[in-house]
Amino acid sequence: MEISRRDLFTIGGKLLVLASAGATLEQITGAEPATEAYKMADHWWGMIVDIDKCIGCGNCVRACSNENHVPDGYFRTWVERYQVTEDQQPQVDSPNGAIDGFPPSTHTGVKSFFVPKLCNQCAHSPCVQVCPVGATFVSPDGVVLVDQSYCLGCRYCVQACPYGCRYLHPDTKTVDKCTLCYHRITQGLTTACCENCPTGARQLVDFKNPKDPVHEFLRHNKVQILKPYMATGAKVYYKDLDGSVR
């Protein structure tokens, strides 16, 4: 059989049109159906932190490090000790993120307290907004996550986070951060930090669950988020937060 040049072009053209139409169709409709017990639409995760209960033991830092294999010297959560003088000048220390707790304080005559910090799981997160490739995102249940296989390691988000909650993983060279223990909370467990907090100073909460104690908590307590003027939509609420905390 002879194939003329004209035939080749015509057949080639038809195939090309078909293939591109198919490719586009598959792109649009290729979504996998969610068939599971855990429904993302039914949850909206956050955390409450009660400053007056934190004893600075560092259990949360160790737990997070173990659970998530956080490299040495990097932290997804850490605890700061504030020592605030009368003119509201804070002195802050956090030896190695408080992974081994704190040495006893030597200061006297100052107001002092512990502040556990972690990703605020912002609803309008600046880190997500600056990502050029869609590697970091807010999940449908309100957790800010990083797609390790999609991250370029450009560090825009590390700079954009007003709370300093992101770091570049020294081995993978991709950005890493608190996942709110997404692998645990989607299975009905609490986060590693909350599991190991001896005093209940930090508690995982689900704003969409009408039975969650968070609703009672927010009704009865004076709470604050960190850097509210940044309008990040932070979902970690601090009870009895001092004005000196940044």
Partner 1 sequence: MLHTAYRPEKEMGLRRIFTDSGHLVRPAVVLIAALGIFLIIRALVIPKAFGQYGHYRPAALMEIRQRPIVYAGQDQCVMCHDDEAKTRAAGKHAHVACEACHGPLASHANDPAAHVPKLPDVANLCRRCHEKDAAKPPGFPQVVTAEHSGGMTCNSCHQPHNPHL
For position 199 contacting ligand HEC by CB under 6 A, the verdict is yes
Residue range at the interface with partner 1 (CB under 8 A); choices 70-78, 110-118, 160-168, 212-220: 110-118
For position 244 contacting partner 1 by CB under 8 A, the verdict is no
If you ran DSSP here, which 8-state letter would residue 97 be given?
G
CB of 139 to partner 1, least distance (A): 6
For position 57 contacting ligand HEC by CB under 6 A, the verdict is yes
For position 11 contacting partner 1 by CB under 8 A, the verdict is no
What is d(CA 237, CA 51) in angstroms, rounded to the nearest whole number? 10
**Cβ contact 136:147 at 8 Å:** yes
CB of 60 to partner 1, least distance (A): 10
Q: Which is nearer to partner 1, 96 or 199 (CB)?
A: 199
Torsion of CA 148, 175, 65, 188, to 10 degrees: -50
- Report which of 159, 168, 173 is spatially closest to residue 129, judged by C-alpha positions: 159
For position 186 contacting partner 1 by CB under 8 A, the verdict is yes
Site track for partner 1 across 87-106, x = CB under 8 A: -------------xxx-xx-
In the set 136, 161, 167, 212, which binds partner 1 (CB under 8 A)? 136
**Cβ contact 119:177 at 8 Å:** yes
Helix (H) or strand (E) holding 95: none
In the set 7, 24, 91, 228, which binds partner 1 (CB under 8 A)? 24
Residue count at the site for ligand HEC (CB under 6 A)? 4
CB of 129 to partner 1, least distance (A): 10
**Cβ contact 169:75 at 8 Å:** no
For position 174 contacting partner 1 by CB under 8 A, the verdict is no
Residue count at the site for partner 1 (CB under 8 A)? 67
For residue 89, the partner it binds in ligand HEC, partner 1, none, with Cβ less than 5 to 8 A by kind, is none
**Cβ contact 77:181 at 8 Å:** no
Q: CA separation (Å) from 133 to 69, 147, 156, 181, 218?
A: 25, 10, 11, 23, 36
